[in-house]
Copies of this chain bind each other. A is one copy, B any other.
Amino acid sequence: MSTYLHHETHFQSSDLLRDIVIGMADGLTVPFALAAGISGAVAGSAVVVTAGVAEIVAGSIAMGLGGYLAAQGEAEHYNSELVREEQEIIEKPQAEMDEVAELFRQYGLTEQHYGGVIDGLKGNPLAWRDFMMRFELGLQKPDSRRAGQSALTIGGSYILGGLVPLAPYMATASAAQALPWSIGVTLMALAVFGFVKGSFTGAARLKSALQTASIGGLAAAAAFVLARAIS
């Protein structure tokens, strides 16, 4: 039982963590690369800040609402599959029994092993439905508050992340002067973020730090070169 509870907790905190990671990874990277790209083509910081703020607003809304709709879509998908499984159990119990048997046969089990489970589920259609949802379809009941929470977490993390690379452009009138500061603080922030992310997800922390910083650096370099080339 304690193991089960442990896993449940693990699942929930990883949802929150995943939302922060999704928002902050892009929030640190895209406005940073955009600002660097514009710096390669335009002299004044004002344009960079305007574009950067527009990007942060657009990105946080797109990602936040995108997260909201994704979570809502998951909940709708769960409910429609629930109704379908319920009907199938009533209308085609034999086919559903075959599906349960097939699940167990994949693990080398025979009817002698899983026959009892089928007998038990037949006596309790609601439990049978829930069993199919989780074990056949791999779906778990979504938390109804998750959609809104997910939207705010992703959007907020994006804004926080996006303000880091823009800060130097807000402090200096020359984009060329702000650029190295923006590169410095953002690569540092990306590395710290990657390190912390690695600690939570169990990945190697230094490797994770290097990866997030590399993606940001690569995106910024590519944006810089292309924006300069076309302007």
Q: Nearest chain B CB to A120's CB is how many angstroms away?
A: 3
Q: Nearest chain B CB to A98's CB is how many angstroms away?
A: 8
Binding site for B on A (CB under 8 A): 1, 3-4, 7, 25-26, 29-30, 32-34, 36-38, 40-42, 46-47, 49-51, 53-55, 57-59, 61-63, 65-66, 69, 73, 76-77, 80, 95, 98-99, 102, 104, 107-110, 112-117, 119-121, 124, 127-128, 130-131, 134-138, 140, 201-203, 211, 215-216, 218-220, 222-224, 226-227, 230-231
By the criterion CB–CB under 8 Å, are B37 and A51 in contact? yes
A135 to B73, CA, bound (A): 23
A-B pairs, 6 with minimum CB distance: A37-B54, A33-B58, A113-B120, A61-B219, A113-B116, A29-B62
15 contacts across the A-B interface (CB closer than 8 A):
A7-B137, A30-B58, A38-B51, A47-B47, A47-B51, A50-B227, A57-B223, A73-B203, A76-B203, A77-B202, A104-B117, A109-B117, A113-B120, A114-B117, A116-B116
**Interfacial chain B residues near A131, Cβ < 8 Å:** 107
**Interfacial chain B residues near A58, Cβ < 8 Å:** 29-30, 32-34, 37, 219-220, 222-223
The answer to whether residues A46 and B231 also contact, given A30-B59, A33-B61, A130-B107 and a CB cut-off of 8 A, is: yes
By the criterion CB–CB under 8 Å, are B107 and A124 in contact? yes
Q: Nearest chain B CB to A106's CB is how many angstroms away?
A: 8
**Interfacial chain B residues near A25, Cβ < 8 Å:** 62, 66
Number of copies: 2
**Interfacial chain B residues near A98, Cβ < 8 Å:** 3
By the criterion CB–CB under 8 Å, are B201 and A73 in contact? yes
By the criterion CB–CB under 8 Å, are A38 and B54 in contact? yes
By the criterion CB–CB under 8 Å, are A4 and B102 in contact? yes
Partner of A33, one of B54, B108, B128, B130: B54
A77 to B211, CA, bound (A): 17
By the criterion CB–CB under 8 Å, are B226 and A54 in contact? yes
**Interfacial chain B residues near A222, Cβ < 8 Å:** 57-58, 61
By the criterion CB–CB under 8 Å, are B47 and A34 in contact? no
